[in-house]
Amino acid sequence: MSDRYPPGPPNDSFGTRHLAAMRDDLMGFCLRLQRRYGDVSRFRLGPFDCYHLTHPDHVHEVLVEKARSFRKPTRLKHVFGRFEGQGLVVSDGELWLRQRRLVQPAFLPAQMADFVEPITKLTREMLQQWGDATTIDFAAEMRRLTLRIVARTLFSTSVDDAVEQLGEAVDVIQRWSMREMNRVMPWPTWLPLFGQPRVRAALAFVDSLVRRIIRERRASPTRGADLLSQLLNAVDAEGNGRGMSDRQLRDEMVTLLLAGHETSAAALTWSGWMLATHAIEQDRIADDVRSVLGERPAEFADLPQVAPVERAFKESLRLFPPVYFLSREAAEPVQIAGFKIAPKSQVFLNPYLTQRDARWFPEPERFDPQRFTPECEHDRPACAWFPFGAGPRACVGRSLAMLEGTLVITAILHLFRLEPAAGQGEPTPEWQLSLHPQGGLRLSVHCR
Protein backbone atom coordinates (compact mmCIF):
# COMPACT_ATOMS: atom_id res chain seq x y z
CA MET A 1 0.00 0.00 0.00
CA SER A 2 1.25 3.49 -0.90
CA ASP A 3 2.38 5.62 2.02
CA ARG A 4 1.91 8.93 0.19
CA TYR A 5 -0.40 11.52 1.70
CA PRO A 6 -2.29 14.08 -0.37
CA PRO A 7 -1.49 17.81 -0.10
CA GLY A 8 -3.42 20.10 2.20
CA PRO A 9 -3.35 23.22 4.38
CA PRO A 10 -0.84 23.39 7.26
CA ASN A 11 -2.21 22.24 10.61
CA ASP A 12 -2.67 24.39 13.64
CA SER A 13 -2.07 22.60 16.92
CA PHE A 14 -5.62 21.29 17.48
CA GLY A 15 -7.14 21.75 14.06
CA THR A 16 -9.58 24.26 15.55
CA ARG A 17 -8.77 26.90 12.88
CA HIS A 18 -10.15 24.68 10.13
CA LEU A 19 -13.17 23.84 12.23
CA ALA A 20 -13.89 27.56 12.69
CA ALA A 21 -13.38 28.19 8.96
CA MET A 22 -15.78 25.39 8.11
CA ARG A 23 -18.37 26.73 10.49
CA ASP A 24 -18.07 30.26 9.11
CA ASP A 25 -18.31 29.33 5.44
CA LEU A 26 -18.40 25.62 4.77
CA MET A 27 -18.45 25.65 0.99
CA GLY A 28 -15.96 28.54 0.81
CA PHE A 29 -13.55 26.39 2.85
CA CYS A 30 -14.13 23.35 0.60
CA LEU A 31 -13.81 25.39 -2.59
CA ARG A 32 -10.47 26.81 -1.40
CA LEU A 33 -9.26 23.28 -0.66
CA GLN A 34 -10.25 22.13 -4.14
CA ARG A 35 -8.74 25.17 -5.92
CA ARG A 36 -5.46 25.07 -4.02
CA TYR A 37 -4.86 21.36 -3.65
CA GLY A 38 -7.00 19.67 -6.28
CA ASP A 39 -9.44 16.77 -6.11
CA VAL A 40 -7.84 15.15 -3.05
CA SER A 41 -6.71 17.08 0.01
CA ARG A 42 -5.95 16.35 3.62
CA PHE A 43 -6.34 18.50 6.71
CA ARG A 44 -6.67 18.22 10.46
CA LEU A 45 -9.96 18.77 12.30
CA GLY A 46 -9.62 18.50 16.08
CA PRO A 47 -8.26 15.01 16.70
CA PHE A 48 -9.14 13.77 13.20
CA ASP A 49 -7.20 13.30 10.04
CA CYS A 50 -9.62 14.41 7.28
CA TYR A 51 -9.77 13.95 3.52
CA HIS A 52 -11.80 16.00 1.06
CA LEU A 53 -12.56 14.27 -2.25
CA THR A 54 -14.26 15.82 -5.26
CA HIS A 55 -13.46 13.58 -8.24
CA PRO A 56 -16.29 11.21 -9.29
CA ASP A 57 -13.87 8.29 -9.59
CA HIS A 58 -12.71 8.77 -6.01
CA VAL A 59 -16.31 9.09 -4.83
CA HIS A 60 -16.95 5.79 -6.58
CA GLU A 61 -13.96 4.22 -4.83
CA VAL A 62 -15.24 5.25 -1.39
CA LEU A 63 -18.95 4.56 -1.81
CA VAL A 64 -18.91 1.60 -4.17
CA GLU A 65 -15.62 -0.24 -4.76
CA LYS A 66 -14.20 0.01 -1.23
CA ALA A 67 -17.42 0.60 0.68
CA ARG A 68 -16.51 -2.22 3.08
CA SER A 69 -13.45 -0.36 4.31
CA PHE A 70 -15.64 2.48 5.64
CA ARG A 71 -18.34 2.97 8.25
CA LYS A 72 -20.60 5.82 9.29
CA PRO A 73 -18.64 8.34 11.45
CA THR A 74 -18.86 7.90 15.21
CA ARG A 75 -20.03 11.50 15.67
CA LEU A 76 -22.94 11.01 13.27
CA LYS A 77 -23.94 7.83 15.07
CA HIS A 78 -23.93 9.62 18.43
CA VAL A 79 -26.03 12.54 17.25
CA PHE A 80 -28.59 10.73 15.10
CA GLY A 81 -28.57 7.59 17.23
CA ARG A 82 -30.23 9.68 19.96
CA PHE A 83 -33.39 9.69 17.89
CA GLU A 84 -33.01 6.93 15.35
CA GLY A 85 -31.58 4.26 17.69
CA GLN A 86 -30.09 1.61 15.44
CA GLY A 87 -31.94 2.60 12.26
CA LEU A 88 -30.50 2.30 8.77
CA VAL A 89 -28.79 5.71 8.62
CA VAL A 90 -26.55 5.03 11.62
CA SER A 91 -26.13 1.25 11.83
CA ASP A 92 -23.20 -0.63 10.31
CA GLY A 93 -22.02 -4.18 9.68
CA GLU A 94 -24.28 -7.20 10.08
CA LEU A 95 -27.16 -5.31 11.68
CA TRP A 96 -27.23 -2.76 8.84
CA LEU A 97 -27.10 -5.51 6.20
CA ARG A 98 -30.00 -7.42 7.74
CA GLN A 99 -32.09 -4.27 8.13
CA ARG A 100 -31.34 -3.10 4.62
CA ARG A 101 -32.49 -6.49 3.30
CA LEU A 102 -35.73 -6.07 5.24
CA VAL A 103 -36.42 -2.44 4.34
CA GLN A 104 -35.29 -2.25 0.72
CA PRO A 105 -38.07 -4.36 -0.86
CA ALA A 106 -40.65 -1.86 0.42
CA PHE A 107 -39.09 0.77 -1.87
CA LEU A 108 -38.84 -1.27 -5.04
CA PRO A 109 -40.13 0.72 -8.01
CA ALA A 110 -42.99 -1.75 -8.41
CA GLN A 111 -44.30 -0.83 -4.91
CA MET A 112 -44.41 2.85 -5.79
CA ALA A 113 -47.62 2.63 -7.85
CA ASP A 114 -49.63 2.58 -4.59
CA PHE A 115 -48.30 6.01 -3.62
CA VAL A 116 -49.22 7.91 -6.78
CA GLU A 117 -52.80 8.57 -5.78
CA PRO A 118 -52.10 9.77 -2.21
CA ILE A 119 -49.19 12.00 -3.26
CA THR A 120 -51.26 13.62 -5.99
CA LYS A 121 -54.25 13.99 -3.69
CA LEU A 122 -52.25 15.66 -0.90
CA THR A 123 -50.61 17.99 -3.42
CA ARG A 124 -53.96 18.98 -4.90
CA GLU A 125 -55.29 19.69 -1.40
CA MET A 126 -52.40 22.11 -0.94
CA LEU A 127 -53.00 23.73 -4.35
CA GLN A 128 -56.65 24.33 -3.52
CA GLN A 129 -55.47 26.73 -0.82
CA TRP A 130 -53.37 28.76 -3.25
CA GLY A 131 -55.18 31.79 -4.69
CA ASP A 132 -54.45 33.32 -8.08
CA ALA A 133 -51.65 35.91 -8.10
CA THR A 134 -50.83 35.46 -4.44
CA THR A 135 -47.50 35.28 -2.66
CA ILE A 136 -46.64 32.19 -0.65
CA ASP A 137 -43.71 30.95 1.42
CA PHE A 138 -42.93 28.12 -0.97
CA ALA A 139 -40.34 26.57 1.37
CA ALA A 140 -42.89 26.33 4.21
CA GLU A 141 -45.52 24.90 1.84
CA MET A 142 -43.10 22.20 0.69
CA ARG A 143 -42.13 21.36 4.27
CA ARG A 144 -45.78 20.86 5.25
CA LEU A 145 -46.58 18.90 2.12
CA THR A 146 -43.60 16.52 2.32
CA LEU A 147 -44.34 15.82 5.98
CA ARG A 148 -47.91 14.87 5.11
CA ILE A 149 -46.64 12.72 2.26
CA VAL A 150 -43.99 10.91 4.29
CA ALA A 151 -46.48 10.33 7.13
CA ARG A 152 -49.06 9.04 4.67
CA THR A 153 -46.66 6.71 2.86
CA LEU A 154 -45.24 5.40 6.13
CA PHE A 155 -48.37 4.98 8.25
CA SER A 156 -51.45 5.62 6.03
CA THR A 157 -53.99 7.92 7.60
CA SER A 158 -53.20 7.19 11.21
CA VAL A 159 -51.35 10.47 11.88
CA ASP A 160 -53.48 13.02 10.06
CA ASP A 161 -54.65 14.53 13.36
CA ALA A 162 -51.10 14.78 14.72
CA VAL A 163 -49.34 16.07 11.66
CA GLU A 164 -48.83 19.68 12.84
CA GLN A 165 -47.35 18.59 16.15
CA LEU A 166 -45.23 16.01 14.37
CA GLY A 167 -43.86 18.75 12.10
CA GLU A 168 -42.84 20.86 15.09
CA ALA A 169 -41.21 17.89 16.83
CA VAL A 170 -39.26 16.95 13.71
CA ASP A 171 -38.06 20.57 13.35
CA VAL A 172 -36.82 20.65 16.94
CA ILE A 173 -34.98 17.35 16.47
CA GLN A 174 -33.37 18.43 13.21
CA ARG A 175 -32.21 21.76 14.62
CA TRP A 176 -30.69 20.08 17.69
CA SER A 177 -28.94 17.50 15.51
CA MET A 178 -27.40 20.20 13.34
CA ARG A 179 -26.16 22.15 16.35
CA GLU A 180 -24.63 18.98 17.79
CA MET A 181 -22.89 18.08 14.54
CA ASN A 182 -21.30 21.55 14.59
CA ARG A 183 -20.09 21.50 18.19
CA VAL A 184 -16.42 21.11 18.99
CA MET A 185 -17.35 19.01 22.02
CA PRO A 186 -20.36 16.77 21.47
CA TRP A 187 -23.07 16.39 24.09
CA PRO A 188 -21.80 13.32 26.02
CA THR A 189 -23.82 10.25 25.10
CA TRP A 190 -24.10 9.14 28.73
CA LEU A 191 -25.86 12.40 29.55
CA PRO A 192 -29.57 12.20 28.88
CA LEU A 193 -31.04 15.14 26.99
CA PHE A 194 -30.77 16.87 30.34
CA GLY A 195 -31.45 20.57 30.25
CA GLN A 196 -32.96 20.15 26.79
CA PRO A 197 -36.67 20.00 27.62
CA ARG A 198 -37.87 20.90 24.11
CA VAL A 199 -35.70 18.23 22.51
CA ARG A 200 -36.76 15.68 25.14
CA ALA A 201 -40.42 16.52 24.60
CA ALA A 202 -40.04 16.32 20.80
CA LEU A 203 -38.38 12.92 21.03
CA ALA A 204 -41.00 11.65 23.49
CA PHE A 205 -43.78 12.77 21.16
CA VAL A 206 -42.34 11.11 18.05
CA ASP A 207 -41.46 8.00 20.02
CA SER A 208 -44.90 7.51 21.55
CA LEU A 209 -46.65 8.22 18.25
CA VAL A 210 -44.60 5.67 16.35
CA ARG A 211 -44.84 3.05 19.09
CA ARG A 212 -48.61 3.51 19.34
CA ILE A 213 -49.05 3.06 15.60
CA ILE A 214 -46.90 -0.09 15.60
CA ARG A 215 -48.86 -1.51 18.58
CA GLU A 216 -52.20 -0.84 16.93
CA ARG A 217 -51.11 -2.31 13.63
CA ARG A 218 -49.70 -5.47 15.29
CA ALA A 219 -53.02 -5.87 17.14
CA SER A 220 -55.09 -5.66 13.97
CA PRO A 221 -52.82 -6.44 11.08
CA THR A 222 -54.58 -4.98 8.07
CA ARG A 223 -52.46 -5.02 4.98
CA GLY A 224 -52.54 -1.30 4.20
CA ALA A 225 -50.84 0.29 1.23
CA ASP A 226 -48.12 1.86 3.37
CA LEU A 227 -44.51 1.21 4.27
CA LEU A 228 -45.33 0.12 7.82
CA SER A 229 -47.36 -2.82 6.50
CA GLN A 230 -44.50 -3.81 4.21
CA LEU A 231 -42.00 -3.67 7.06
CA LEU A 232 -44.28 -5.57 9.45
CA ASN A 233 -44.57 -8.39 6.95
CA ALA A 234 -40.92 -8.38 5.87
CA VAL A 235 -38.87 -11.46 6.76
CA ASP A 236 -35.13 -11.88 6.34
CA ALA A 237 -35.23 -14.76 3.86
CA GLU A 238 -31.45 -14.69 3.34
CA GLY A 239 -30.79 -14.64 7.09
CA ASN A 240 -32.73 -16.22 9.99
CA GLY A 241 -36.12 -16.01 8.27
CA ARG A 242 -37.49 -13.69 10.99
CA GLY A 243 -39.02 -10.24 10.85
CA MET A 244 -38.14 -7.12 12.85
CA SER A 245 -38.55 -6.66 16.59
CA ASP A 246 -40.78 -3.78 17.73
CA ARG A 247 -37.67 -1.89 18.83
CA GLN A 248 -36.07 -2.20 15.42
CA LEU A 249 -39.31 -1.37 13.68
CA ARG A 250 -39.59 1.81 15.77
CA ASP A 251 -36.00 2.78 14.90
CA GLU A 252 -36.57 2.27 11.17
CA MET A 253 -39.86 4.17 11.13
CA VAL A 254 -38.30 7.16 12.92
CA THR A 255 -35.30 6.96 10.57
CA LEU A 256 -37.49 6.98 7.47
CA LEU A 257 -39.55 9.84 8.86
CA LEU A 258 -36.50 12.01 9.55
CA ALA A 259 -34.54 11.01 6.43
CA GLY A 260 -37.46 11.39 4.06
CA HIS A 261 -38.96 14.70 5.12
CA GLU A 262 -36.42 17.56 5.11
CA THR A 263 -34.51 16.23 2.12
CA SER A 264 -37.61 16.03 -0.09
CA ALA A 265 -38.80 19.45 1.09
CA ALA A 266 -35.44 21.01 0.23
CA ALA A 267 -35.32 19.34 -3.19
CA LEU A 268 -38.79 20.60 -4.08
CA THR A 269 -38.12 24.10 -2.78
CA TRP A 270 -35.03 24.52 -4.97
CA SER A 271 -36.88 23.03 -7.94
CA GLY A 272 -39.58 25.68 -7.44
CA TRP A 273 -36.95 28.41 -7.46
CA MET A 274 -35.25 27.05 -10.58
CA LEU A 275 -38.54 26.86 -12.47
CA ALA A 276 -39.71 30.27 -11.23
CA THR A 277 -36.53 31.86 -12.57
CA HIS A 278 -36.54 29.97 -15.89
CA ALA A 279 -39.91 30.96 -17.31
CA ILE A 280 -39.40 29.55 -20.82
CA GLU A 281 -38.32 26.16 -19.51
CA GLN A 282 -41.19 26.21 -17.01
CA ASP A 283 -43.82 26.97 -19.67
CA ARG A 284 -42.41 24.33 -21.99
CA ILE A 285 -42.66 21.69 -19.25
CA ALA A 286 -46.14 22.87 -18.26
CA ASP A 287 -47.28 22.54 -21.90
CA ASP A 288 -45.97 18.97 -21.96
CA VAL A 289 -47.81 18.19 -18.73
CA ARG A 290 -51.09 19.64 -20.01
CA SER A 291 -50.85 17.82 -23.31
CA VAL A 292 -50.38 14.49 -21.47
CA LEU A 293 -52.94 15.02 -18.72
CA GLY A 294 -55.58 17.33 -20.14
CA GLU A 295 -57.69 18.20 -17.10
CA ARG A 296 -57.19 15.01 -15.07
CA PRO A 297 -54.57 14.34 -12.34
CA ALA A 298 -51.46 12.25 -13.09
CA GLU A 299 -51.51 8.46 -12.85
CA PHE A 300 -48.70 5.93 -12.58
CA ALA A 301 -48.87 5.16 -16.31
CA ASP A 302 -48.27 8.87 -17.14
CA LEU A 303 -44.85 8.98 -15.54
CA PRO A 304 -42.79 8.10 -18.66
CA GLN A 305 -44.63 10.86 -20.55
CA VAL A 306 -43.76 13.52 -18.00
CA ALA A 307 -40.02 12.80 -18.28
CA PRO A 308 -39.26 16.55 -18.75
CA VAL A 309 -40.48 17.12 -15.19
CA GLU A 310 -38.19 14.41 -13.87
CA ARG A 311 -35.25 15.92 -15.78
CA ALA A 312 -35.91 19.36 -14.25
CA PHE A 313 -36.06 17.77 -10.79
CA LYS A 314 -32.74 15.99 -11.38
CA GLU A 315 -31.14 19.20 -12.61
CA SER A 316 -32.27 20.98 -9.43
CA LEU A 317 -30.80 18.15 -7.38
CA ARG A 318 -27.55 18.70 -9.27
CA LEU A 319 -27.37 22.41 -8.47
CA PHE A 320 -28.76 22.14 -4.94
CA PRO A 321 -28.22 18.64 -3.53
CA PRO A 322 -30.15 18.55 -0.21
CA VAL A 323 -27.49 16.21 1.22
CA TYR A 324 -24.53 18.37 0.26
CA PHE A 325 -21.90 16.54 2.29
CA LEU A 326 -21.38 12.81 2.83
CA SER A 327 -18.97 11.54 5.44
CA ARG A 328 -17.34 8.23 6.20
CA GLU A 329 -14.81 6.93 8.74
CA ALA A 330 -12.09 4.53 7.59
CA ALA A 331 -12.60 1.21 9.39
CA GLU A 332 -9.20 -0.17 8.28
CA PRO A 333 -6.16 1.03 6.34
CA VAL A 334 -7.34 1.78 2.81
CA GLN A 335 -6.00 3.37 -0.33
CA ILE A 336 -8.08 5.98 -2.19
CA ALA A 337 -6.89 7.85 -5.29
CA GLY A 338 -3.51 6.19 -4.69
CA PHE A 339 -3.17 7.78 -1.25
CA LYS A 340 -3.01 6.11 2.11
CA ILE A 341 -5.91 6.59 4.51
CA ALA A 342 -5.41 5.44 8.08
CA PRO A 343 -8.14 3.85 10.24
CA LYS A 344 -10.45 6.39 11.94
CA SER A 345 -9.66 9.06 9.32
CA GLN A 346 -12.70 11.07 8.23
CA VAL A 347 -13.51 11.20 4.54
CA PHE A 348 -15.74 13.97 3.16
CA LEU A 349 -17.48 13.78 -0.21
CA ASN A 350 -19.02 16.89 -1.64
CA PRO A 351 -21.92 16.46 -4.10
CA TYR A 352 -22.36 20.24 -4.22
CA LEU A 353 -18.87 20.85 -5.65
CA THR A 354 -18.63 17.69 -7.76
CA GLN A 355 -21.97 18.43 -9.38
CA ARG A 356 -20.93 22.01 -10.21
CA ASP A 357 -17.67 20.99 -11.85
CA ALA A 358 -17.31 22.07 -15.51
CA ARG A 359 -15.43 18.85 -16.31
CA TRP A 360 -18.66 16.87 -15.94
CA PHE A 361 -21.26 19.61 -16.43
CA PRO A 362 -20.19 22.28 -18.94
CA GLU A 363 -21.39 25.76 -17.93
CA PRO A 364 -22.15 24.27 -14.54
CA GLU A 365 -24.11 27.23 -13.14
CA ARG A 366 -26.67 27.07 -15.96
CA PHE A 367 -30.01 25.35 -15.28
CA ASP A 368 -30.36 22.87 -18.14
CA PRO A 369 -32.62 19.83 -17.65
CA GLN A 370 -31.42 18.45 -20.99
CA ARG A 371 -28.32 17.25 -19.17
CA PHE A 372 -30.50 14.39 -17.96
CA THR A 373 -31.57 12.84 -21.23
CA PRO A 374 -30.52 9.15 -21.20
CA GLU A 375 -27.70 9.83 -23.73
CA CYS A 376 -26.17 12.65 -21.67
CA GLU A 377 -26.43 10.67 -18.44
CA HIS A 378 -24.68 7.76 -20.09
CA ASP A 379 -21.70 9.92 -21.13
CA ARG A 380 -20.76 11.02 -17.60
CA PRO A 381 -18.68 9.23 -14.93
CA ALA A 382 -20.93 7.18 -12.62
CA CYS A 383 -20.56 9.43 -9.56
CA ALA A 384 -20.52 12.85 -11.26
CA TRP A 385 -24.15 13.17 -10.05
CA PHE A 386 -24.79 11.53 -6.69
CA PRO A 387 -27.48 13.42 -4.73
CA PHE A 388 -28.69 10.05 -3.40
CA GLY A 389 -25.21 8.73 -2.63
CA ALA A 390 -24.08 5.52 -4.35
CA GLY A 391 -23.20 1.91 -3.64
CA PRO A 392 -24.65 -0.29 -0.92
CA ARG A 393 -25.56 2.66 1.31
CA ALA A 394 -27.23 4.76 -1.36
CA CYS A 395 -30.56 6.31 -0.37
CA VAL A 396 -33.05 3.52 0.21
CA GLY A 397 -35.90 5.98 -0.42
CA ARG A 398 -34.65 7.17 -3.80
CA SER A 399 -37.54 5.74 -5.84
CA LEU A 400 -40.06 7.35 -3.46
CA ALA A 401 -38.20 10.67 -3.51
CA MET A 402 -38.09 10.71 -7.33
CA LEU A 403 -41.76 9.77 -7.55
CA GLU A 404 -42.71 12.46 -5.07
CA GLY A 405 -40.57 15.12 -6.78
CA THR A 406 -41.98 14.33 -10.19
CA LEU A 407 -45.62 14.15 -9.08
CA VAL A 408 -45.57 17.28 -6.94
CA ILE A 409 -43.95 19.40 -9.68
CA THR A 410 -46.31 17.92 -12.26
CA ALA A 411 -49.36 18.83 -10.16
CA ILE A 412 -48.07 22.36 -9.50
CA LEU A 413 -47.19 23.18 -13.13
CA HIS A 414 -50.44 21.64 -14.29
CA LEU A 415 -52.39 24.33 -12.45
CA PHE A 416 -49.99 27.18 -11.61
CA ARG A 417 -47.21 29.35 -12.99
CA LEU A 418 -44.44 30.19 -10.51
CA GLU A 419 -42.61 33.52 -10.35
CA PRO A 420 -40.21 35.00 -7.82
CA ALA A 421 -42.24 37.25 -5.49
CA ALA A 422 -41.51 40.98 -5.50
CA GLY A 423 -38.40 41.55 -3.41
CA GLN A 424 -37.30 37.90 -3.47
CA GLY A 425 -33.66 37.99 -4.54
CA GLU A 426 -31.32 35.09 -5.32
CA PRO A 427 -31.63 32.91 -2.20
CA THR A 428 -28.55 32.30 -0.08
CA PRO A 429 -27.92 28.60 0.50
CA GLU A 430 -28.03 27.69 4.17
CA TRP A 431 -25.93 24.66 5.08
CA GLN A 432 -28.34 23.11 7.56
CA LEU A 433 -28.99 19.41 8.00
CA SER A 434 -30.03 19.69 4.39
CA LEU A 435 -29.40 22.55 2.01
CA HIS A 436 -32.13 25.19 2.29
CA PRO A 437 -32.64 28.74 1.06
CA GLN A 438 -31.92 30.99 4.01
CA GLY A 439 -35.07 32.63 5.37
CA GLY A 440 -37.47 30.60 3.20
CA LEU A 441 -38.49 31.26 -0.39
CA ARG A 442 -41.23 33.64 -1.45
CA LEU A 443 -42.87 32.89 -4.77
CA SER A 444 -45.90 34.36 -6.42
CA VAL A 445 -48.28 31.83 -7.94
CA HIS A 446 -50.63 32.40 -10.90
CA CYS A 447 -53.38 30.12 -12.17
CA ARG A 448 -52.67 28.70 -15.64
Closest distance of CB 31 from ligand HEM, Å: 20
Contact 401, 388 (CB under 8 A): yes
The CB-of-231 to ligand HEM minimum distance in angstroms stands at 11
- Residue 435's SS3 state is strand
Residue 12: strand, helix, or coil: coil
Is 264 or 406 the residue whose CB approaches ligand HEM more closely?
Answer: 264
Residues 302-361 that bind ligand HEM (CB under 6 A): 322-323, 326
Least gap, CB of 397 to ligand HEM (angstroms): 2
Angle at 146 between CA 207 and CA 390, to 5 degrees: 90
- CB-nearest residue to ligand HEM: 397
Contacts 24+ apart (CB under 8 A), 47-52: 47/15, 48/15, 48/344, 48/345, 48/346, 49/342, 49/344, 49/345, 49/346, 50/345, 50/346, 50/347, 50/348, 51/6, 51/336, 51/339, 51/341, 51/345, 51/346, 51/347, 51/348, 52/348, 52/350
81 contributes a contact to ligand HEM by CB under 6 A = no
271 vs 424, beta carbon nearer ligand HEM: 271
Query: CA–CA separation, 413 vs 421, rounded Å?
Result: 17
Which of the residues 149 through 178 are near ligand HEM (CB under 6 A)? 150
- Binding segment (CB under 6 A) for ligand HEM, from list 24-32, 260-268, 301-309, 414-422: 260-268
User: Binding of ligand HEM at residue 260 (CB under 6 A)?
Assistant: yes
Closest listed residue to residue 397, CA positions, set 146, 174, 103, 163:
103
| Binding flags for ligand HEM, 16-55, as an x/- string (CB under 6 A) | ----------------------------------------
Q: Does 202 bind ligand HEM (CB under 6 A)?
A: no
Among 255, 354, 355, 406, binds ligand HEM (CB under 6 A): 255
Site residues (CB under 6 A) for ligand HEM, limited to 350-409:
387-389, 393, 395-397, 400-401
DSSP secondary-structure letter at 148?
H
CA distance 96 to 12: 37
Q: Which of the 8 DSSP states describes residue 188? A: P
CA distance 319 to 352: 7
| Contact stretch for ligand HEM (CB under 6 A) within 50-58, 256-264, 272-280, 421-429 | 256-264
Where is 232: in which H helix or E strand?
A: helix 227-233
Residues 94-113 within binding reach of ligand HEM (CB under 6 A): 100
**Could you tell me the smallest distance in angstroms from the CB atom of residue 400 to ligand HEM?**
5
**Which of 88, 172, 254, 445 touches ligand HEM by CB under 6 A?**
88
Q: Which stretch binds ligand HEM (CB under 6 A): 263-271, 298-306, 370-378, 412-420?
A: 263-271
Nearer to ligand HEM (CB atom), residue 292 or residue 408: 408
Nearest 5°: the CA angle 363, 366, 368 is 105
Q: Which of 256, 330, 433, 441 binds ligand HEM (CB under 6 A)?
A: 256
CB of 367 to ligand HEM, least distance (A): 17
Whether the Cβ atoms of residue 55 and residue 39 lie closer than 8 Å to each other:
yes
Please give the Cα distance from 2 to 216 (Å, whole number): 57
Give the separation between CA 367 and CA 243, rounded to whole angstroms: 45
Q: DSSP code of 185?
A: S
Q: Does 259 bind ligand HEM (CB under 6 A)?
A: yes
Site residues (vs ligand HEM, CB under 6 A): 88-89, 100, 150, 255-256, 259-260, 263-264, 267, 322-323, 326, 387-389, 393, 395-397, 400-401
